[in-house]
Amino acid sequence: MGWLRDVLARQEFGSGKGDAALFANLWIKLKDWANYNHHEFTNRYFSSQKELFHELGNAGFDVDEDVAQIKRFNMELQPTRFIEQNINRLGYACSDTRISDEELAKIFEENQRYDVFWDFVEDCLLDEDGNISEFGKSENIQARHAEPFNLRAFLEGMDQYATTSRLRAIDSSGKRKIPSFLMPVVVFSLSKSKPSKKSNKKQSSSKKRE
């Protein structure tokens, strides 16, 4: 994975909206790659409101912002929370008596893709002194120091549904504190545009000719 680290290390970001959009899409690509989400990796990306309105307008939706019921908010994204591949493996492995406690505990060490993902986020959002970088401070990122995902509480919650208490033996302490960032989210509601009277007349006349 050294080549990927080299490519990611060459990425540079400014303070514009385009830079924030590029970072967010690299973030989600790495997140899905790290968790072996093949379908999402191939098909998912964060588009802009302008792009969505353009495509939906071409599909016949009314994209008038005055009637779209637009709501805006920021979603905080913290990379160490997104470890679904490990969680899924634990869910299956903890009930398999052929897997030892030692092997169970190593599940969190085996997926090295998480380190590539987390290192990229850390390199972008922190400076050499461990403070929030200039890019991280930008208006469209608003990075902040975040506590690591509370894996211990999560595992204890999972253990309520397990047949044994094997999950409690996993040392989930010392998780990395990777910065989070705020991603702008836009929610809107659109309706199909009503055909004009002129287009209705054309449809009516074409039916008569038939």
Instruction: Identify the pLDDT of residue 101.
Output: 78
| Better pLDDT: 147 or 7 | 7
Band (pLDDT 50/70/90 cuts) for residue 167 is low
Whether the pLDDT of residue 84 is over 70: the answer is yes
Band (pLDDT 50/70/90 cuts) for residue 175 is low
Instruction: Identify the pLDDT of residue 172.
Output: 58
What are 73's strand-pairing partners? 185
Q: In the predicted model, what is the mean pLDDT of the chain?
A: 83
Whether the pLDDT of residue 72 is over 50: the answer is yes
Q: What is the mean pLDDT of residues 113-126?
A: 94
Band (pLDDT 50/70/90 cuts) for residue 41 is very high
Buried/exposed code over 136-171 (b: 16+ C-beta within 10 A; e: otherwise): bebebbbbeebebbebeebbeeebeeeeeebbeebe
The tokens of 41 are what? Answer: 């990796």
Band (pLDDT 50/70/90 cuts) for residue 182 is very high
Rg (CA), the chain: 23
Whether the pLDDT of residue 108 is over 90: the answer is no
Q: What is the mean pLDDT of residues 142-171?
A: 71
| Better pLDDT: 121 or 146 | 121
| Better pLDDT: 61 or 170 | 61
Compute the half-sphere exposure of residue 23: CA atoms within 13 Å on the CB side of its CA: 29
